[in-house]
Amino acid sequence: MRRSSILCLGLTMLFGACRPADRPDGGRGPLPIGAVAPDVTGTASDGSSTTLSAARGHAAVVYFYPKDETPGCTKEACAFRDAFTKYEARRVTIFGVSRDSEESHKKFRAKHSLPFPLVADEDGKIASAYGVSSTLGMASRVTFLVGADGTIVRSWPDVDPGVHADEVLAAAQAAQAAQAGETKAMP
């Protein structure tokens, strides 16, 4: 059993947490494959803003994590950082989302040289729109791969921070290859 599952089980026993989140669209739990990904706006290390909708035409990763500077979250962010040039080469944009403030994100990006935008979801509305549950004011660790058309291609509701960045990149490459095959097959 993964650590996150054990944590969820323990928190469920204590607080009744970890149940599937109710989404504003009336659904429950993480957005399903084929759903349109809600837009997010993140700030990069240079202070510029970028949106998920600006990445249309290319794949994107929207990953939710509990808190800046915690061991698992730092490990996950640094794994995405270390694989960033591979993501760039595939034209895949990365957005990290947590309930931390923009100021916290600014420090986190600077300390760990994170080259991708982080999204401050202080009120939890973005997590809610994606159906990501929150416990004690922190989003669960969930990742979504968004296709070039802006729809969810795949999601990971239980993430191993150490190997996750490579796993997501492989899925992005497979999705791009499948899309390229469909494009070639069209007259």
CA distance 106 to 100: 10
- Residue partners of 125: CB distance under 8 A and separation at least 6: none
In this structure, the chain runs to a length of 187
CA distance 163 to 170: 11
Is the backbone of residue 41 left (phi > 0), alpha (psi -120 to 50) or beta?
Answer: beta
State the chain's mean pLDDT as an integer: 85
Asked if 78 is an active-site residue, the reply is no
Tell me what the mean pLDDT of segment 71-90 comes to: 96
pLDDT at 3: 53
pLDDT band with cut points at 50, 70 and 90 for residue 81: very high
**pLDDT surpasses 80 at 52:** yes
**pLDDT surpasses 70 at 73:** yes
Q: Which position has the higher pLDDT, 183 or 159?
A: 159
Find where tokens 């390229």 sit: 180
The 10s digit of each residue's pLDDT in 125-157 is 999 999 999 888 899 999 999 999 999 999 999
The 10s digit of each residue's pLDDT in 1-38 is 455 444 444 444 344 445 567 766 666 778 999 999 99
Find where tokens 């669209």 sit: 25
Q: Coil, helix or strand for 180? A: helix
CA distance 80 to 21: 26
End-to-end Cα spacing for the chain = 48
Set 8, 18, 73, 78: catalytic member: 73
Q: Which CATH number fits domain 30-185: 3.40.30.10, 3.30.365.10, 3.40.50.850, 3.40.1080.10?
A: 3.40.30.10
pLDDT at 6: 47
pLDDT band with cut points at 50, 70 and 90 for residue 85: very high
**pLDDT surpasses 70 at 46:** yes
**pLDDT surpasses 80 at 39:** yes
Q: Please return the burial class of 186, using the count of CB atoms within 10 Å of its CB with bins 0-12, 13-18 and 19+.
A: exposed
**pLDDT surpasses 80 at 183:** no
The 10s digit of each residue's pLDDT in 94-131 is 999 999 999 999 999 999 999 999 999 999 999 999 99
